[in-house]
Amino acid sequence: MSEVRSHRDLLVWQRAMDVAVSTYELTRQYPHEELFRLISQSRRAAASVAANIAEGYGRATRQAYLNFLRIARGSLKELETHVALPERVGLAPSPRTKALLDQTDELGRMLHGLITKVQSRSPL
């Protein structure tokens, strides 16, 4: 394992960025009338995951880090909903949606593990 010098070194942040890129790619195929609804909301939720991981890391206190990791997890759940809905209404093909949801599942497990690890350190 290499030394973590910034949030960019965190594997969980890197995966969150991958999810954001995949979200942008998926939402490019949505109809234009969804630009200010599902497209915008999906992209903001995806970007929020990585941004909150970075912001929490940058706060440099354990409690703040945990808080922002939890916010990131909430944004991830919001994103999962924004990805699942277009599939249900026929705006997104199932294979691409499934691939993104697989990525969000992996990221969710990573966030859960990191939250558990940070929580298990010395008492708050």
Read off the pLDDT of residues 29-70 as tens digits, 9 standing for 90 and up. 999 988 889 999 999 999 999 999 999 999 989 999 999 999
Task: Evaluate whether 13 touches 53 at the Cβ level (below 8 Å).
Answer: yes
In this prediction the pTM is 0.92
Closest CA to 47 of 24, 80, 70, 77: 24
Q: Tell me the residue ranges of DSSP E strands in the chain.
A: none
What integer pLDDT is reported at residue 122 of this predicted model? 60
- CA quadruple 88, 15, 76, 21: dihedral sign: negative
Contacts for 58 with CB less than 8 Å, ≥ 6 apart = 7
CATH 1.20.1440.60 fits 7-120, yes or no: yes
Contacts for 113 with CB less than 8 Å, ≥ 6 apart = none
